[in-house]
Structure 1
Amino acid sequence: MDSDTCTVPDHFLPRKLSKQNLDRFIPNRSAMDFDFANYALTQGRKRNVDEITSASRKAYMTQLAVVMNQNRTRILAFRNKPKALLSSNHSDSPHQNPKSVKPRRYIPQNSERVLDAPGLMDDFYLNLLDWGSANVLAIALGDTVYLWDASSGSTSELVTIDEDKGPVTSINWTQDGLDLAVGLDNSEVQLWDFVSNRQVRTLIGGHESRVGSLAWNNHILTTGGMDGKIVNNDVRIRSSIVGTYLGHTEEVCGLKWSESGKKLASGGNYNVVHIWDHRSVASSKPTRQWLHRFEEHTAAVRALAWCPFQATLLATGGGVGDGKIKFWNTHTGACLNSVETGSQVCSLLWSQRERELLSSHGFTQNQLTLWKYPSMSKMAELNGHTSRVLFMAQSPNGCTVASAAGDENLRLWNVFGEPPKTTKKAASKNYLELFSHVNSLR
């Protein structure tokens, strides 16, 4: 073979393809470059093939890649990015939208503030703490009632009771938060005007012994005494007693009117809970006609809480020897659920925005427990008190909870989340910040 002449062997030239085999090789013969084929056989090793830039070569390689599916970077690849899933819960139906998952709320495990409350009586049957709708927290320490104005952060003394009448055994704000009822050990009840800081009335004659529980229903003040009687007082008239409920044989230690004011729940030392009809208030004669009588607890019942999102639902808690939280349908009288807590239940509070219940306890842990309703799974346990947590009160915005215990400490907890957003600057102040300069209520 002459060195100046290149002859391509026949077996290297493209064969003429039949129609049935055409799709298996090169569908477009016009794109073939015979000059390049001759060059590649003789001189191709001397240069990098990628350096060849002829138009016919590029067309050939592109066509070959398409036909032979050599663009492997697109294998199993989406043409467009898939839409992000709304949640991790997949639905079998393409028309059913998956539910969004609500982020879990952070619940601080420690109290935001601890205040000294010297003289706080360690008595399960009394009610010595209340937070009014005017944003004023009242607490009774021995013979004296102290007020903390959460709007200004100031602390003041409302009244000190004479020794022959005291100590203070119960306190409760009116629904407008302007007047405070103060129950005494000598069976009297005093009414105090918070704004003018003066006593406006004394109620006598309803009880023969100390008044340990109070509950307002508009202009009706209901009082519960150690004598087992429940007395309704119309504070607008001179002879205030307008009705008496008889059903407890021991001390009445818990009273709560429903939000509608149509039903009264009472808890007593003899392990009994009664539900009373508000229409009995109109009767001046003592009545034993309760709507329901619950006797399933095995210890005194002081903790009572009406549900804010289900009007007929009542939660009750039993003391030492019981330790259960029970839920009642007050329309039918049925017990809906009973939960063992393992310790004395001292008080109960419902969240105003979430389906949650907060309970305070005695021995052994002296803790506060936050429950998810209706599953009653524990969301958090709040520890810090060293004695039974007898009293709890909730701020008007429903976020902050004050707890008072036999260890003579008052603790503030941010347990129910942040307050609703508001445009008022004054309302944006945090209760705990306003309380930051106070270390003791005395």
Structure 2
Amino acid sequence: MAQFGLENDISNTLKLDVPITNAPIARWQRKASASNASTNGLSPGKTSNISLNASKTPGKTPAKTPGRWRATPSKTMGEDRFIPVRNDKQIEVASFLVSKENRPKEDLSAATSDQKGWSLMLNGCNLEEARILQFSGKPTVNPDGQHNAMKSLYSHTVTPISNKKTRYIYSTVDKILDAPAVRNDFYLNLLDWSSRNVVAVALQNCVYLWDAARGDIVHLTTMENDSSYISSLSWTKDGSYLAVGTSDCAVQLWDVEKEKCLRQITSHSARVCSLSWNSHVLSSGSRSGQIHHHDVRVADHHIFTLRGHTQEVCGLQWSPDGRHLASGGNDNLVCIWPGVSQAPRSDSDQSLRTLSLHKGAVKALAWCPWQPGILASGGGTTDCHIRIWNVNSGSCLSSLDTQSQVSALAFAPNYKELLSAHGFSNYNLAIWNYPSMTKIAELNGHEARILNVALSPDNSSVASLGADETIRMWKCFAMDPKKKTKDKNLRSLHSALTHSIR
């Protein structure tokens, strides 16, 4: 019974039979008070039952600073939230957004294009399509013609090289030597520069030697028959011996230091207009179209004959490694022959390669000294092209139209460039960047076609023999002193390391 009595006492205590005096005013009472206050002239939102400082000024609310009043936003009758005042610009933006949501799809596409245009003008790009990393354009094609999908996918465009010259090229001639009575014949090879810095030149039926270091001139020989003439010259690698080809179908071997003819080789049936050495083997090309190999160490010098040309062999060059012999003829062909050690000990009519893209006589031949298997060839007046060949594959790597007869070529190792000499109708020398084959400079001075060129032993100067009866010396490949010192130091370091290892 006691428990029931306690529960009745608790329920009686919790009953709300009378209103709570200190409770907050109900919402409906606040609204009724606000409506009554507005009708009685009081500020909206103020009631007589709220214990706040009464405002004597309608529409004013006391500010933080005493004595100052700030305007209280007016409220619409019956509302309990604040509605800010909108200016014209905000109303335009709001109306644009509302109309954009209700716009048809065809209008949205036009708006999208307008937005892209505005984004491009303001930001420089369309922000909706902007990416941190993105591909631009298609991958470049492999220049070698190899179709490797992965290589093409990850290939990139190389930054173009600046056209600014990195060195100064002397375009004026350094020395001019007289060459009277030089024979103006495109097919002859009348100039060569030895490793001992001696220049040999054939003037009609005489051979002269000019020491480039001391300036001394030596008259080596004169042919007995006045109607005969010198048709070709070629130094051995050590510069001790000189091979002289004549119009009498003979080849003479001269000891230059003793000024003595050691022997005379006769095997051709026509004039010998091209010569080239490969160690102890001398190769000679004739007007008959045949090429003879001579072993000068033995009495029976004629080793074998190469028959690949139908007309005069006017160009003949052994590769620096001695593996290939290149021959050019008046039949517009370039033939590649195997080395002496690889060739059979019998006459041969089959060359390794026969290159037939030239349309004129091929006299100008030059092997690249720093890239084995690369050959440069130049065509005559009806061709005027310089072509770069890969003799291992037989492919033409590049072709350049010089607009002039190409009479001689020479690679310049100091700067990895190609020098070309021209006849009709430019009569000048041109320097080309290799392998891009862009022209770097022109050397003008000759008044007639250039017949032959030869590089100095240090590869810094070029001698050009012209039909204007002059030999001109050009210092166009002189090395930069800083680079020269650096290369010298590297060679000294390499020599020291080799000596220490041994």
Q: CA deviation at 1:103?
A: 6.2
Per-residue CA deviations over 1:146-179 (Å, capped at 9, x if unaligned) read: 0011232211111111116720000000011000
In the superposition, the TM-score normalised over structure 1's length comes to 0.71
Q: Which runs of 4+ in 1 moved over 6 A?
A: 98-103
Q: Equivalences for 1:31-430 in 2 at 5 Å? A: 104-163=166-225, 166-204=228-266, 206-279=267-340, 283-418=344-479, 421=484
Q: Find the aligned partners of 1:352 and 1:189 in 2 and give their Cα distance.
A: 31
Give me the identity figure in percent: 47
SS of the residue corresponding to residue 214 of structure 1 reads strand
Q: CA deviation at 1:115?
A: 1.6
Residues 1:100 and 1:339: Cα distance change in structure 2 (over 3 Å): closer
Contact 1:360 1:368 in 2 (8 A): yes
Contact 1:146 1:159 in 2 (8 A): yes
Q: CA deviation at 1:285?
A: 2.1
SS of the residue corresponding to residue 252 of structure 2 reads strand
Between the two proteins, the alignment pairs up a number of residues equal to 326
RMSD in angstroms over aligned alpha carbons?
2.1
Q: Find the aligned partners of 1:361 and 1:259 in 2 and give their Cα distance.
A: 24
The structure with higher relative contact order (CA 8 Å, sep 6+) is 1
Contact 2:414 2:460 in 1 (8 A): no
The AA in structure 1 aligned to 2:302 is I
Q: Find the aligned partners of 2:331 and 2:454 in 1 and give their Cα distance.
A: 25
Contact 1:169 1:183 in 2 (8 A): yes
Per-residue CA deviations over 1:129-148 (Å, capped at 9, x if unaligned) read: 00011111000001110001
The AA in structure 2 aligned to 1:191 is L
Contact 1:397 1:419 in 2 (8 A): no
Between structure 1 and structure 2, the one with the greater Rg is: 2
Contact 1:255 1:265 in 2 (8 A): yes
Indicate the structure with greater helix content.
Answer: 2
Contact 1:165 1:184 in 2 (8 A): no
Residues 1:363 and 1:197: Cα distance change in structure 2 (over 3 Å): same
Q: Find the aligned partners of 1:392 and 1:405 in 2 and give their Cα distance.
A: 9
Q: CA deviation at 1:304?
A: 0.2
Q: Find the aligned partners of 1:295 and 1:254 in 2 and give their Cα distance.
A: 15
The AA in structure 2 aligned to 1:257 is W
Q: CA deviation at 1:419?
A: 7.7
Q: CA deviation at 1:112?
A: 1.1
Per-residue CA deviations over 1:289-332 (Å, capped at 9, x if unaligned) read: 21100010000000000001111100000001100000000110
SS of the residue corresponding to residue 210 of structure 2 reads strand
The AA in structure 1 aligned to 2:355 is F
The AA in structure 2 aligned to 1:127 is N
Contact 2:205 2:226 in 1 (8 A): no
Per-residue CA deviations over 1:332-367 (Å, capped at 9, x if unaligned) read: 000111000000000001012222100000122201
Q: Find the aligned partners of 1:356 and 1:103 in 2 and give their Cα distance.
A: 13
Q: Point out where structure 2 has 5 or more consecutive residues left out of the alignment.
A: 1-158, 486-502
